[in-house]
Amino acid sequence: MTREEMAGLLTALKLAVPRWAPPEINHELAGIYLGALKNFDGITIAKAISRAMQNLTEWPPPAKIKRMCLGTDQDDTEIGSEVAARIEGAISSCGHPNWERAKEKIGPVGVKVVEMCGGWHEICNITYDQLPSARKNWRDLSTQLSRKLYNDNRIDPPSLPQSSHMQKALRIAQGLDK
């Protein structure tokens, strides 16, 4: 993507989301956004900016557009809170013997948190009195993992799980299942 193309996208974004927008869209500003988004192709960037136009109420910094390119509108703290809630929910809905089912519910960041906390067996053995501090620990670990994945410029996002129906459909579409 060229600076001119980025400047055009930012100009359109300014019209759609004027609150806190910069007074002028120039080549230097386009260069800043291009630098932050250097790991993404033009189509991904254009889609993220389009989503920003539809969903945001104030001007997004480059980091917000980068997150949108990665496929999430959530920041690290929001991801941490959601992963912690998913772990807690998986304890009651999946229970001790269903680690495979729990993995689907908590997603890759949640799986890493569970591993860091001693495994599913340890997570399921916490008492009711330990739950508030465990929940805070899960939230903090998830937040840190999300931030690390984001700051390491990894293209794979700190994603939450997809539904098993979606995974099945993708496998069928790829010709892996019937």
How far from chain centre, in Å, is Cα 97?
Answer: 28
pLDDT-based confidence at residue 31 (cuts at 50, 70, 90): very high
Q: Which residue type, as a one-letter code, is found at position 51?
A: R
Interacting residues of 153 by C-beta distance below 8 A, sequence separation 6+: 39
pLDDT confidence of residue 147: 85
| For residue 176, pLDDT beyond 90 | no
| For residue 152, pLDDT beyond 80 | no
What whole-number distance in Å separates Cα of residue 174 and Cα of residue 71? 21
**What number is the average pLDDT over the span 38-57?**
95
Domain ranges of the chain: 3-69, 76-167
| For residue 157, pLDDT beyond 60 | no
| CB distance 114 to 98 below 8 Å | no
Cα-Cα-Cα-Cα torsion 122, 125, 129, 133, nearest 10 degrees, comes to 20
